[in-house]
Amino acid sequence: MKYLTEFRDKDVANGVLSEIQKTAKQIKQNPNIKLPILLMEICGGQTHSILQYGLNTAVLPDVEFVHGPGCPVCVTPIETINLALELAKQPNVIFTSFGDMLRVPGSHENMFQAKANGADIRWVYSPIDAVEIAKENPDKEVIFFAIGFETTVTPITAAIHLAKKWGVKNFFILTAMVRVPPALEVILNDQECVINGVLAAGHVCTIMGSGEYEPLAQKYAIPIVVTGFQPVEILSGVLTCLKQIRDGRAQVENAYNWVVREEGNLVAKELINEYFEIINRRWRGIGEIPNSGFGLRKEYQHFNAEEHWKNIIIKKEAESNPYCGLVLTGKMKPTACPFFKKECSQEHPIGALMVSSEGACAAYHKVSK
Ligand code: SF4
């Protein structure tokens, strides 16, 4: 297939669906395997596609999707949002961020409210835009809110690289970037979260490579299939997972091989490795996960907003409700949250999962209108 429309073609999708049903029938012959097969899609972009195209109902009763923690806005803990708000209110600061973050509630306000009260907060589409703002405003200090998974770490690294090359001294990042495999391992270790297979996020694997998941597939004896975002791609990922389960295999397979390589993007990985090291990081609803984040290396601490404004101390706060964490870790569907479409809606979100364009609650909210 060459064109996007082909990945959304109804006839092709129906063809894959009937293969899924056939394979599920074969799985049913094995009395040790219970249906529905529970598959966790990691990425919030995949969750939105699944809901938008009705794949969640199309695969029933053989397969059920369990939504994973792959939304960077959703997993950023509240103390980091509070720190971002404090930094944004510092004198002489221009605070820049991707749009989704601006609506995520901190303990007392969100970025839009802080902006309305006078903070210079700007929505950018790329971290490089923030470096350009810094270049154009040498008398200001410009901070970029660096959130994202491995995919987004690449343009953030490019921005730091450019700032270094251009000699921009007034550019900083507030780092909250995370890695998928350690979070997936926490979920696979959790007795309350039972899943039979994983659909890994294609864009993350484009950078880091599918090979990163081999140790997890082996250790937890679980199929992990790298999958794209269009309906036919997601269904193909489901089918590949089911075939592994039917055959008693537990491997990493690449159902997105027109984009993803086992070794990933070596140029991007080398650049990331030059500027960032792997550190522990706190995740909303999960807590601290060892080796799950990227932090600036010692020699690049002059770009680190937390280091530059180290006098600002933010205390860790408990989550305002337990439901966001349960949804993030696949233990609860958004519709089971007592706040869903009541106190928490897209118009008045109380949790990040309702704000983000990749949040599971926002996905359910959109299709339930
Ligand atoms: S509906 Fe709102 S409060 Fe409930 S889990 Fe989703 S984002 Fe959190």
Mean pLDDT of the chain: 94
Nearest to 206 by CA among 273, 279, 127, 266: 266
Structure confidence at residue 2 (pLDDT): 62
Q: Positive or negative, the Cα torsion across 254, 56, 352, 159?
A: positive
Atom of ligand 1 nearest to the CA of 74: 7
Does the CB atom of residue 361 touch ligand 1 within 6 A? yes
Over residues 332-344, mean pLDDT: 95
Over residues 286-304, mean pLDDT: 96
Structure confidence at residue 336 (pLDDT): 96
Per-residue pLDDT band at 204 (split at 50, 70, 90): very high
Measured distance CA(75)–CA(359) in Å, rounded: 10
Q: How far is the CA of 361 from the centre of ligand 1 (A)?
A: 6
> Is the CB of residue 50 less than 8 Å from the CB of residue 234?
yes
Q: Per-residue pLDDT for 64 more than 90?
A: yes
Q: CA-CA distances (angstroms) from residue 18 to 49, 57, 232, 281, 340?
A: 19, 14, 12, 42, 33
Check residues 2 and 203 and name the one with the higher pLDDT. Answer: 203
What phi and psi values does residue 352 have, to the nearest 5 degrees? -65, -25
- Looking at ligand 1, which residue's alpha carbon is closest to its atom 1? 340
For the chain, the distance separating the N- and C-terminal CA atoms, rounded to the nearest angstrom, is: 33
What are the tokens at 284? 């909303």
367 three-state secondary structure: helix
Atom of ligand 1 nearest to the CA of 327: 5
- pLDDT tens for each residue of 72-94: 999 999 999 999 999 999 999 99
User: What's 27's DSSP letter?
Assistant: H
Structure confidence at residue 193 (pLDDT): 80
What phi and psi values does residue 311 have, to the nearest 5 degrees? -70, -15
- Looking at ligand 1, which residue's alpha carbon is closest to its atom 5? 324
Measured distance CA(36)–CA(65) in Å, rounded: 9
- Looking at ligand 1, which residue's alpha carbon is closest to its atom 3? 351
Structure confidence at residue 58 (pLDDT): 96
Q: Which domains does the chain have, with CATH numbers?
A: 74-180+264-308 (3.40.50.11740)
The β-bridge partners of 20 are: none
Does the CB atom of residue 353 touch ligand 1 within 6 A? yes
- pLDDT tens for each residue of 221-259: 999 999 999 999 999 999 999 999 999 999 999 998 888
Atom of ligand 1 nearest to the CA of 326: 5
Does the CB atom of residue 351 touch ligand 1 within 6 A? yes
Percent of the chain whose pLDDT exceeds 70: 99
Atom of ligand 1 nearest to the CA of 355: 7
What are the tokens at 354? 């309702």
